[in-house]
């Protein structure tokens, strides 16, 4: 009877571990907590009406983060997050930078108006990459990733990733510009065409693809894309001063691009298909 109880307990434990994809997996990487601490010390994210500190998340072995925030707005609260996301300081700081320096100028260049909200498709969640049993943990499991399914403009127009990526010319240009401009602030950027898991959202995270955390994985490979012709003018309030990555920061005029190596992190080369390991980098 005792041996049967012990076997049942072991089986339940194994199933719980497998459900989160980490049976026999590695310990939580020390760089994660260190990155959170550095970001907070540098003021990368401060408590506010749109960035509410939450209790530490210590979920199922290595999942979680020590300093989570409930993010209801980005870019100093000017862009709503719908619904609010649970994320850490590093990825939120990268999101704020990207929204102000890439997304908004591109929105003005293509639509003549700003983005006022983004639709959060997924933030924190303890799960494996692409929900595959036995796969590595997703960066979502560390509050280090965000999936965006749509951008909402000031006039109420909704630009979805699913329809817009191959939709109207202005939407196609905008989405390719913001995807290309994300490759640098973020270390993994996946959009439609990267694999079958990302046809309806843009995945952004700060995974470490090398020991120094300097490499980036961006699919599809970013391209130089001109803005829609009717709004090729500088965005109000934005200058062309270089940003921290050595680029013309606001990308106020078309075309949009990303800097040549070695200013931007090296993008991993090689074709990515639905059946290749590269195509399942993270989600």
Contact 144, 91 (CB under 8 A): yes
Measured distance CA(177)–CA(255) in Å, rounded: 8
CA dihedral sign of residues 62, 68, 72, 74: negative
Q: What's the token pair of residue 207?
A: 């995974």
What is the per-residue pLDDT for 130?
67
Contact 147, 202 (CB under 8 A): yes
DSSP three-state, residue 253? coil
- Cα pseudo-dihedral 106, 118, 175, 186, rounded to 10: 90
Residue whose C-alpha is closest to residue 192's, from 166, 159, 226, 228: 166
Q: What per-residue confidence (pLDDT) applies to 231? A: 66
Short-list 87, 114, 117, 105, CA closest to 204: 87
**Rounded distance between C-alpha atoms, residue 259 and residue 279, angstroms:** 24
Q: Give pLDDT, residue 60.
A: 73
Q: How many CB atoms lie within 10 A of CB 164?
A: 20
Provide the token pair at 98: 């990207």
Domain boundaries, the chain: 35-280
**Cβ atoms of residues 238 and 99 within 8 Å:** no
Q: Is 59 left (phi over 0), alpha (psi -120 to 50) or beta?
A: beta
pTM over 0.85: no
Determine contact, residues 269/218, Cβ cutoff 8 Å.
Answer: no
pLDDT, residue 281, reads 52
Q: Are 182 and 194 in contact (CB under 8 A)?
A: no
Per residue of the chain (283 residues), give pLDDT as tens.
444 444 344 333 334 444 433 333 457 789 999 999 999 999 999 999 999 999 999 887 689 899 999 999 999 999 999 999 999 999 999 999 999 999 999 999 999 999 999 999 999 989 877 667 665 788 998 999 999 999 999 999 999 999 999 999 999 999 999 999 999 899 999 999 887 788 999 999 999 888 878 888 899 988 888 888 766 544 444 433 333 322 333 323 322 333 332 223 333 333 333 333 333 455 6
pLDDT for 174 equals: 96
In DSSP notation, 190-209 reads: E-TTS-TT-SS-EEEE---S
């Amino acid at each position: 009877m005792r041996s049967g109880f012990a076997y049942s307990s072991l089986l339940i434990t194994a199933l719980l571990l497998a459900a989160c994809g980490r049976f026999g997996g590695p310990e939580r990487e020390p760089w994660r907590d260190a990155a959170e601490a550095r970001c907070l010390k540098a003021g990368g994210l401060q408590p506010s009406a749109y960035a509410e500190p939450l209790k530490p998340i210590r979920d199922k072995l290595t999942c979680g983060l020590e300093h989570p925030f409930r993010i209801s707005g980005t870019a100093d609260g000017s862009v709503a997050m719908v619904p609010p996301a649970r994320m850490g300081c590093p990825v939120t700081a990268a999101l704020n930078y990207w929204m102000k320096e890439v997304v908004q100028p591109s929105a003005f260049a293509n639509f003549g108006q700003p983005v006022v909200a983004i639709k959060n498709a997924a933030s924190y969640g303890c799960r494996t990459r692409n929900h595959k049993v036995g796969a590595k943990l997703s960066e979502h499991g560390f509050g280090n990733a965000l999936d965006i399914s749509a951008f909402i403009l000031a006039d109420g127009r909704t630009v979805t990733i699913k329809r817009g990526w191959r939709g109207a010319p202005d939407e196609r240009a905008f989405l390719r510009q913001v995807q290309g401009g994300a490759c640098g602030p973020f270390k993994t950027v996946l959009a439609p065409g990267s694999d079958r898991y990302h046809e309806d959202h843009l995945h952004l995270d700060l995974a470490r693809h090398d020991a120094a955390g300097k490499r980036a994985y961006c699919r599809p490979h970013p391209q130089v894309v001109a803005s829609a012709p009717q709004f090729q003018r500088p965005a109000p309030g934005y200058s062309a001063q270089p940003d921290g990555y050595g680029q013309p920061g606001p990308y106020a005029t078309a075309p949009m691009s990303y800097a040549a190596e070695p200013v931007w992190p090296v993008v991993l080369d090689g074709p990515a298909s639905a059946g290749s390991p590269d195509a399942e980098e993270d989600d």
